[in-house]
Amino acid sequence: MNSDAAFTYNGGKVAPGERQNLRYGISETYLGDPVRIPVTIVNGERDGPTVFLSAAAHGDELNGIEVVREVAFEWDLADLAGTIVCLPVLNVQGFLTQQRYLPIYDRDLNRSFPGDPTSTSAKRMAHAIFENFIAPCDLGIDFHTSTRGRTNMLHVRADTSKDAVSRLAYAFGASVVVDGAGSDGTLRGEATRAGVPTVTVEMGEAHRFERRLIDDALDGVESVFAEYGLQPGPVRWPGWRTVVTEKTWIRADAGGIVDMHHDRGSLVREGERICTITDPFKAQGVPVEAPFTGVLIGLLENPVVYPGNPICHLAELDAERARIVDRRQADR
């Protein structure tokens, strides 16, 4: 933010105490029509940090859209100390066609940041978004879901080697934090490298709203706002937390139909059967067992596989946390 506390972008500014809804042009179609992303900027009357909330960098990942919209239009922000930049649909073209990628040579917008104004269409779009609405911020949360045919438990992905990112990840209040810097070109990775601590929140599956996960994510945003002083309130503690460094995608060694024995977020013990792969006659079953004790942070939803297809994403838990999770799940 600049010295007069107004949030500025190329083409406008939002003064303290003001709200602005805009459709910001980031590209053009084959017909020369503008491609515009929806943006809501709320600048509080009191000083505070500037936070971006973004979703749908992958156009078919919808849960985060509702999180960002509800913060912008259903929360009482009259006492906001700081500024929020709400970007509910980054990948407008993918959203319109309900595709993960930009429908222009299937480019991944979330591998195109911070962008380049002289490069590919995807990198030009990313540059316009990044320079105007990401770089001016102090921190950010980027919402995602799993891809088609899979689902994720709500968890945070963050580079916890950086204190500022670790603080943000813990403030969100998720039980599972997957540690890592992120791939080159991701919004969270490039924003963090540019000095804007950013985390990814993964939750649910593509092509749908999942109300329980949306509400959980809204609680996380509320907790972040409390941690950084944007609004009063408690910083939530999820009951248990693990920072995951050891994780693996377990893949099918046989083709067939998957009979899943656990839900996303379930604890599985080393050697426990996660699922069984059967043929159409159920004459033979190939068991898939956990290689270590952990929590299922991602699961197959489309129950058919070829050999090599991913079945589940397993994050390792130590003995103490496994006991806590086991006890909490038994009490449900």
Instruction: Tell me which amino acid residue 328 is.
Output: R
Question: Is residue 164 helix, strand or coil?
Answer: helix
Question: Concatenated DSSP letters for 167-225?
Answer: HHHHHHT-SEEEE----TT-HHHHHHHTT--EEEEEEE-TTS--HHHHHHHHHHHHHHH
- For residue 112, which of 192, 56, 57, 194 has the smallest C-alpha distance? 57
Q: Does residue 238 fall inside a structural domain?
A: no
Residue 302: the pLDDT is 94
Question: What does each C-alpha distance from 330 to 222, 239, 324, 326 come to in angstroms?
Answer: 28, 14, 10, 6
> What value does the mean pLDDT take over residues 61-75?
98
Asked whether residue 211 falls in the same domain as residue 279, the answer is no
Asked whether residue 21 falls in the same domain as residue 163, the answer is yes
Q: What are phi and psi of 49, to 5 degrees?
A: -70, 160
Asked whether residue 101 falls in the same domain as residue 213, the answer is yes
Q: Given pLDDT bands bounded at 50, 70 and 90, which one contains residue 331?
A: confident
The residue among 200, 227, 254 that closes a domain is: 227
Q: Given pLDDT bands bounded at 50, 70 and 90, which one contains residue 330?
A: confident
The residue among 168, 199, 227 that closes a domain is: 227
Question: Is residue 126 helix, strand or coil?
Answer: helix
Number of structural domains (the chain) is 2
Six-digit token string for 184: 């080159």
Q: Does residue 234 fall inside a structural domain?
A: no
Asked whether residue 206 falls in the same domain as residue 260, the answer is no
Asked whether residue 57 falls in the same domain as residue 199, the answer is yes
Asked whether residue 172 falls in the same domain as residue 310, the answer is no
Asked whether residue 50 falls in the same domain as residue 130, the answer is yes
DSSP class of residue 219? H
The residue among 179, 200, 227 that closes a domain is: 227
The pLDDT mean for the chain works out to 95
> What value does the mean pLDDT take over residues 268-278?
97
Residue 265: the pLDDT is 95
Q: Does residue 133 fall inside a structural domain?
A: yes
Mind listing the pLDDT tens digit for each residue in 118-163? 999 999 999 999 999 999 999 999 999 999 999 999 999 999 999 9
Q: Given pLDDT bands bounded at 50, 70 and 90, which one contains residue 70?
A: very high
Asked whether residue 153 falls in the same domain as residue 201, the answer is yes
Q: Given pLDDT bands bounded at 50, 70 and 90, which one contains residue 3?
A: very low
CATH number of the domain enclosing 168: 3.40.630.10
Residue 283: the pLDDT is 78
Distance of CA 73 to the CA centre of its chain: 20
Residue 329: the pLDDT is 84
Mind listing the pLDDT tens digit for each residue in 148-203? 999 999 999 999 999 999 999 999 999 999 999 989 999 999 999 999 999 999 99
CATH number of the domain enclosing 321: 2.40.50.100
Instruction: Tell me which amino acid residue 40 is.
Output: T
Residue 22: the pLDDT is 97
Q: Does residue 92 fall inside a structural domain?
A: yes
Q: What are phi and psi of 153, to 5 degrees?
A: -70, 155
Q: Does residue 232 fall inside a structural domain?
A: no
pTM, whole model, 2 decimals?
0.95
113 and 191 in contact (C-beta within 8 Å)?
yes
Asked whether residue 179 falls in the same domain as residue 126, the answer is yes
180 and 159 in contact (C-beta within 8 Å)?
yes
| Residues 242, 92: Cα–Cα separation, whole Å | 35
* Predicted confidence (pLDDT) at residue 319 exceeds the cutoff of 50: yes
* Predicted confidence (pLDDT) at residue 1 exceeds the cutoff of 70: no
Six-digit token string for 291: 């290689």
Mind listing the pLDDT tens digit for each residue in 76-122? 999 999 999 999 999 999 999 999 999 988 899 999 999 999 999 99
Mind listing the pLDDT tens digit for each residue in 4-13? 799 999 999 9
Q: Does residue 263 fall inside a structural domain?
A: yes
Mind listing the pLDDT tens digit for each residue in 246-261? 889 999 999 999 999 9
Residue 246: the pLDDT is 86
| Residues 316, 245: Cα–Cα separation, whole Å | 8
Q: Does residue 37 fall inside a structural domain?
A: yes
Task: Kindly give, in sequence order, each residue whose CB lies less than 8 Å from that of residue 253, ignoring residues fewer than 6 positions away.
Answer: 286, 288, 307
Q: Tell me the residue range of the domain where 144 lies.
A: 7-227
